[in-house]
Amino acid sequence: MNKFVATVAMGLMAAGAAQAEVTEDMLANDQSMTNQVVTNGMGRHLQRYSPLDTLNKDNVKNLVPAWAFSLGGEKQRGQETQPLVYDGVMYITGSYSRLYAIDIKTGKELWQYDARLPEGILPCCDVINRGAALYGDKIIFGTLDARIVALNKDTGDVVWRDKIDDYKAGYSYTAAPLIVNGLVVTGNSGGEFGIVGSVQARDVNTGDLVWERPVIEGHMGTLNGEESTMTGTLNATWPGDMWKTGGGATWLGGSYDARTDTLIFGAGNPAPWNSWLRDAGQNNDGSGDNLYAASRIGINPADGEIKWHFQTTPREGWDYDGVNEVVAYNDRDGNQRLATADRNGFFYVLDAADGGFVGATPFVKDISWAEGIDENGRPIFNEANRPGDPSKAADGKKGEVVFASPSFLGGKNWMPMAFSQRTGNFYVPSNEWGMDIWNEPVSYKKGAAYLGSGFTIKPNYEDHIGSLKAIDPDTLEVVWEAKNDAPLWGGVMTTAGGLVFYGTPEGEFLALDDETGEVLWSFQTGSGIVGQPITWEQDGEQYVSIISGWGGAVPLWGGEVAKKVSYLNQGGLLWTFRLPKELAAAN
């Protein structure tokens, strides 16, 4: 059986057989409904900010463990989930496409679901899962074989399941789904295998596909089972037939800006990595942008039509995916803005109305591939830092090697930043590293890696790789920086109590002063943290949860950095902390 049913009866008794359903209104107001967390990002705008201030700078030192939950077994690897909390139950996903329901008062398991994964799955960057979605009486999550599954949230029974795409071609899925107006919206993974990135929307009650929007130009969208419109213009920015295997995976999922009724998804690297093979684009002069890869894309949630796009790395050739989350917020003057910290090392502010460029600044040091960003938001390329064309090499097998910074794992990778409504600043987990990178000949073969590049990642500094940075989006200045020896690979959360929570690969779960970066509290969790913290209130007390379990892309792809952190142990433990009522006022 793919579900442990022995605990279901106990779970129903503990959680109650007739629990309330999650509504669209609850999703829309998740940030202000502080007794729950029913969306990834603690709000579909992905601000990861809580208005709770019971826990604050003065009393955070009194935060203590309430309970811990082990994922058990030998299926460890990276644990990157964000918990959800609703009606007395916490839901988490685990590595190898598992989902757990846990009693939030006791930490006891109510039920567990294990997906039946076939042989031959092709996950790029560990067997992780970043979370689930709640709606009605369902809990919905994706699996490593590129499927999406809806379970009854009270029992764990399968309600419906559907196929996102063909795992044998390299497709997979690891992000938390996004639910808007009765549609469950997903992206896809597999950019290293020459797949085609797309966004799909299904009826949340039936799983039926409503629309699909490919994000590589030349591909046709669908609406209600019929062809709708083509993405972009065929061969406007792609040479020949390369658009057919153009990459652009939408692997991190998206956000929803209710102010403009817009879904915002990011598209990953174009395929293959060897940019010289994709170079004959719009003017046949080396200026092919390969749209809409390495871009942020605004989509109409009703029909999947593209409203706007903003490309962060045209003619991308370093694996600088454009998938990093786009956070909807208002600046200090009340302007409706979007912000994103790109793999390419630049932090961008966009106009929420149309995705138009407002400003950008480097958020990591030593960026080598571009000299800056021009007034239109386009990078000013450093052509000498483009990996060389292998066709011009003496042996035709390896182009000129360059040292590029940041590395292909990015100035910021998947790990989500947070915005504080209290300070007006963003808190960005970043890494200071570079890479030797070169291009090689490559041709597409279904289910095989489609890179055309080789690489070795190296630290840029001896005293740190990771760096949590507070960034003022109005002035585009770094306010403070908290350095860390190992790379940062987990999410960040801010609170109205003036706190910034995040974890490190060394296992420390930390609370910092949001204005100064001073460490106010820490707890050793026993394994590296690559998960995402949440907070909520329960029985008049404030709680905080984080999952601990080292893994993700760094130990698999990290080169010299992987050796630096090879001593870190895997794990799988969900920690939940509380501030006791009697200590809430203690200084």
Give the catalytic positions in this structure: 319
| Pairing of the two strands 226-230 and 64-70 | unpaired
346 in Cβ contact with 339 (< 8 Å) = no
The three-state secondary structure class of 482 is strand
| Pairing of the two strands 418-419 and 426-431 | antiparallel
Distance CA 415, CA 472 (A): 19
383 in Cβ contact with 392 (< 8 Å) = no
- Closest by CA position to 254, among listed 53, 530, 46: 46
197 in Cβ contact with 216 (< 8 Å) = yes
Distance CA 396, CA 394 (A): 6
Q: CB atoms < 10 A from the CB of 400, how many? A: 14
Per the structure block, which two tokens stand in for 539?
């029985």
- The helix (run of H) or strand (run of E) holding residue 168 is none
> Across the beta sheet with 402-404, what order do the strands follow?
402-404, 433-439, 453-459
| Pairing of the two strands 49-50 and 493-495 | parallel
Per the structure block, which two tokens stand in for 275?
């940019």
Cβ neighbors of 226 (< 8 A, separation 6 or more) are none
Backbone torsions φ then ψ of 184, nearest 5 degrees: -100, 120
Per the structure block, which two tokens stand in for 490?
């987990």
- The helix (run of H) or strand (run of E) holding residue 556 is helix 554-557
Computed over its alpha carbons, how large is the radius of gyration of the chain?
22
Burial string for 298-311 (b: 16+ CB within 10 Å, else e) reads bbebeebbbbbbbb
- Vertex 145 angle, CA 141 and 150, to 5°: 25
Q: CB atoms < 10 A from the CB of 465, how many? A: 27
**Residue indicated by tokens 């209290």:** 422
Torsion of CA 168, 169, 174, 179, to 10 degrees: -110
- Closest by CA position to 437, among listed 455, 452, 450: 455
DSSP bridge pairs for 174: none
Distance CA 337, CA 264 (A): 13
Q: In which region does residue 211 sit, left (phi positive, over 0), alpha (psi from -120 to 50) or beta (all else)?
A: beta
